[in-house]
Structure formats: C-alpha cells, structure tokens
Amino acid sequence: MSILNTEIPFSVELFWDDIEKASPSPLILETVHYHHFLLNWLESQGATDDDFDRVHSILSDWIRRYPPGKGSAWDPFTVAYRIQIWIRIARLPQPTVPFPDLARSLFQHGLYLERTLEFHLGGNHLWKDLSALLMLSEFFEGSTADRWFHTASGLLEKEIQKQILPDGGHYECSPMYHLLVMGDILDVRDLLQHHRPEWVEDQIQPTIDSMGQYIVKALHPDGEIPFFNDTVFGQAPAANLALSRMGNTSISTTPVNIFRSTGVTRIVSGELTLLFDGGPLGPDALMGHVHNDSLSIELSMGAHRFIVNRGVFEYTPGSKRIDSRSIHSHNTPCLDNFEQSEIWSSFRVAERWHRDRFDWNPQENPNSVSASWIRPGMPRISREVRIEEFDRIKIMDRFEGEGRHSLSSPFHFAPNIHLKSVHHEEIDGRLKWTWMAESESTRMEMLFDLPLSLRVEVEETVWWPRFYVEEPIERLLIRGEIECSDQVVLLLRGIPIEKAGSGPESPPITPD
C-alpha cells in the first residue's frame, strides 16, 4: 500500500501492528489515521462483501487500539479528517449489515472535536474542524446535532469572512490549501443543502462560487495548480473535480487575470501562460505554510510546464524542509543572500517582509503588472511582467537603493526540459545572451539583457512535485554583482508546437 508515495506494509490482520513497527514520519502516520485509504478501497471498482468485511475489521481494531484522546491519532485535525471519511464510508451502499461501532465512535469523535477546536492554529485546521462538525450535525439527529450545527455554523461564517479574501483566494495563499478548504465547504454544502437549505444558499454557495472563480483563473493550462507556498500535486482534490462539483464551470478568463488580495496574476500570450506571485507572503497570524516566493513566476508553454517552483518534499524538520521554503527554491531575485522571511523548523517564521507595492493600471497598460518588496538595509526589488507582443512575455527586475550587491536569480525548469546556450554578445554596454529551453515537442527562446557584471549558468538540482518524491531538474541562474541603477530583463518567446521540429526555423529574438 502506498501512502504519500511511500510504501506501507499492509495486511488486514496485523495492519495497525505493522504501522506501529514501521514508525513512519509524522505526516505519513497522520495520513494513515485519516483512513482515506479505506474509502479508496471501498470506492474502487468491484468492491465485494469481503472487502467491506475487511475494512470493518480494520476499523474495529483501530477503535479498540485508539480510544478517544490516545496519541497523534486524536489530534483535532486528524479527528476532523477521519470524521469526513467515516461519514462517506457510512453513506456508501453497503452490501452487508452496516457497521454499528462506526456510528457510536463517530458520535464520540464529535464530542471530542467539539472540545478541541483548533482556535490556536486557525486557518485550514479550524476550517476543517468546523466542516466536520457540520457534517456530523446532518449525520445525527437530536439536541447534540443541533448544538453542533449552531456552534459550527456561526464560527464558520466568521471564518469565511476572515479566510476567504475579496478576490476569492484563501488567505494562506497556497493553491493546494485553497483546494483543500474548497473541498471541505463543498462537502458541507452537499450534505446540508437539503437539511439546512436557506443557510447553504445564503452562506455557503456564495463562498463556493467565489473560490471557484479564483481557482479556475489561477491554473496552468494542464489544469493543475502552481507551486506557491506549500503546494504539491496529489494532496488536494483535483481542480477539475472541485469545479465540476460546483455545478457551474462556465467561468471566462482573459489574457490578464488579476487577483489583488492574493496578488496572483495569470498572463496568457499565445502559447505562453505565466503565473506571477505579487502578493503578501501570507497572513501574519498564520505563516506556517509560507515560502519565500514573493515575485516568483511559473510558466507553461502550451500544455507543458516549463518554469516551476521546487515544491515540497516533506513537513518534517530538516534541510529539505528549510530548502523548499527558501527564496533560492523559487523563481525570484535575491540580493546578498537575504530571505524574505526568517524561516525555521517546519512551520515557523520570525521576521517577515511582505510585498510593499502591487501595481496594475489598466488604463495605462492593461497587459502589465508589477510588485516589489524590501527589507531594512537592502534595496527595494521590483519585478514587472508584461505581454510584449503575441507569444512574447517580458520580465524586468529593477533595484532601488544604493551601492553594489550580489544577485542570485534562478529559473527552475520542469523535468525533461533541456537548456542550452545559443548565443551571447555585448551590445551598447549590455550582455545579450540567448538560451533555449526544449522539450521533445516544443521549445522556448529566452533572451537575457544583462549588465556586463552578470552571467547565466545552468545547474542541476531537484524538485519535489509530490510529498516524498524527488526528481532531477535543471535551472538557469543569473549570478554576479549589480549596481542599484542596473536592471535585469528577460524576454520569453514561445515557439508553438506545430513549428517546433518541423518546417523552417522561426527567426530568433533580435536584441534591442
């Protein structure tokens, strides 16, 4: 059995013995205690009476081994997640007699969760706690169920105002957690829309619509999320599933989609789709899933990802956790090795320096957006992204301050994208350097316009597209010393798939 891309021993009779002996990482152990693998088993094609009996056996053993409050299995977030899974299991058309201990234990789960709501953490944790209580309020009848509804509904209404920003994005500024939170509220709607129809229509459906409007305009052409803050593939429900559950997917997009609250911008020019993070790092009260990725970009060519952030390997404290959150793992300029926030442990942040400007003037230039950030003792770093012309996007980095500084500005490329230097020359005191990024089916031309003090190097590194998965990739790194009067310019030109590898060569980008 695979949990978070890690093989876990599986036998019905000894399952929980095997889990305890294996001593998996805290995140894997937490995920096992969600019991999502049991739901997947029963929802798989051809589940039989024997399969239901085996699942009931595993659940009976779990209930016996882990009474309320015992160990990490009863962390409130894990309890809430398990409540959601057990309700889905209980609602499956079961070919056998329903499992009686499941309902009894579910009621205990509700009483426990009611007392341990995660007000100290807030964010997606408290959101899931409240969603689970609301689902229980529909699953049971009586005064306790009514109390759960009135408590959780009032608190969730406050959290909606706090956590869902005016642009529809989730305030933790992670596309993955946006989808997780959206999945929770969709579950609440689906269970309560007949039980509490007026409340769902007034409070829940508008939130779902707003979140859907946001996420559909913040995706790559492959239909997947960008890697801003803590985000990986496969952990949240797929965006297309969430959108189909909304019941309204007729959401139009434009060449430039701006989300002022989260600061995310999606720019489309021909085959190029660029996502730009010009927003705050995250909410000051909850920075646990924050990465130092302000001003970072991701880019697709057609349906193929080209420029990517590195993702997340794990949540366990250590070098990979720190590395994944560092400014050096994101496609954003760094001066003098300064980070945008002081990150430590798994989810800790000390000092932080959010973006200080976000500019979009549709009257002056509707196809251009810019943002900047600054910390005491260093220059302001500004990045402007704009559509130059069809199939061309320009990225301009400027530095406002004094003195000479060390610049490191990486661009990480997805697996199977190969980089090569094509041509470089000095023109009017600037270095014009053309590189090519190629996949098997398409390519992208990149013209760097740099001060003579900078160089472009290719390096081998890795990315983490899923928890506990590491894959080799390459990155281009702009490196060297700059004056604050300098600027760094990158012009991207997409070569459509039908032109790549066949017919006459498209003319190269001509330096200005």
Give the 3-state secondary structure of residue 105. helix
Beta bridge partners of 344: 348
pLDDT of residue 507 exceeding 70: no
pLDDT of residue 508 exceeding 60: no
| DSSP letter (8 states) at residue 79 | H
pLDDT for the residue numbered 51: 87
pLDDT digits (tens, 9 = 90+) for 92-115: 887 665 677 889 999 999 999 999
% of the chain residues with pLDDT over 70: 95
Q: Mean pLDDT across the chain, nearest whole number?
A: 92
Cα–Cα distances in Å, from 245 out to 208, 261, 474? 10, 25, 37
E-state strands within 84-149: none
Cα–Cα dist 358/291, whole Å: 19
Q: Please report which confidence band the pLDDT of residue 22 belongs to, taking 50, 70 and 90 as the band edges.
A: confident
| DSSP letter (8 states) at residue 355 | E
Average pLDDT over residues 148-171: 98
Q: Please report which confidence band the pLDDT of residue 15 belongs to, taking 50, 70 and 90 as the band edges.
A: confident
Average pLDDT over residues 42-61: 86
Q: Please report which confidence band the pLDDT of residue 496 belongs to, taking 50, 70 and 90 as the band edges.
A: low
Query: Which phi and psi (to 5°) does residue 469 adopt?
Result: -120, 130
Lowest-confidence region among 123-127, 141-145, 189-193, 507-511: 507-511
Q: Answer whether 504's CB lies under 8 Å from 486's CB.
A: no
pLDDT digits (tens, 9 = 90+) for 186-229: 999 999 999 999 999 999 999 999 999 999 999 999 999 999 99
Q: Please report which confidence band the pLDDT of residue 510 belongs to, taking 50, 70 and 90 as the band edges.
A: low
Average pLDDT over residues 384-391: 93
Q: What pTM was computed for the model?
A: 0.94
pLDDT digits (tens, 9 = 90+) for 246-294: 886 666 778 899 999 999 999 999 999 999 999 999 999 999 999 999 9
pLDDT for the residue numbered 498: 58
- The fold of the 261-495 domain, in CATH, is Beta-galactosidase; Chain A, domain 5 (2.70.98)
| DSSP letter (8 states) at residue 200 | I
Residue bearing tokens 């693998």: 37
Query: Among the residues of 255-399, which ranges form H helices?
Result: 319-325
Query: Which CATH class name applies to 122-253?
Result: mainly alpha
Lowest-confidence region among 248-262, 331-345, 353-367: 248-262
Residue bearing tokens 């779902």: 208
Q: Please report which confidence band the pLDDT of residue 2 belongs to, taking 50, 70 and 90 as the band edges.
A: confident
Sequence spans of domains, the chain: 1-116, 122-253, 261-495
pLDDT for the residue numbered 107: 96
pLDDT digits (tens, 9 = 90+) for 414-462: 999 999 999 999 999 999 999 999 998 889 999 999 999 999 999 999 9
pLDDT digits (tens, 9 = 90+) for 295-321: 999 999 999 999 999 999 999 999 999
